[in-house]
Amino acid sequence: MSRDSKNDSIPENRSGFTVAASPFNPVKLELGAILIIGIVLLLIVDSVTDSRVSQLGILLCYGLSAMGWLVIRVRKILDAQDNLGG
């Protein structure tokens, strides 16, 4: 009843398990940093200004600029992928 310890249903390369690297990995890292900075900003915005309108404005400006940055980065990567493919 000796059985091989490898599972035949899981594909494996000789060097081990591999997954193709996504071209969006840098964007994922930037999204993580943006989320962490946003949470910190949310926690400290109350000490920056007392006005609720100013606090909302600061958070809104940060959110819109972060969104714009991510959109630009994704479009740049998509354009590069289109140029490689055709």
23-74 pLDDT, tens digit each: 999 999 999 999 999 999 999 999 999 999 999 999 999 999 999 999 999 9
Angle 25-48/52-85 helices, nearest 10 degrees? 170
C-alpha pair distances (Å), 56 with each of 31, 36, 39, 42, 81: 21, 18, 14, 10, 37
Q: Where are the domains of the chain?
A: 25-85
pLDDT in the model for residue 84: 84
pLDDT in the model for residue 19: 78
User: Within its chain, how far is the Cα of 43 from the centroid?
Assistant: 21
Q: Enter the pTM of the model.
A: 0.73
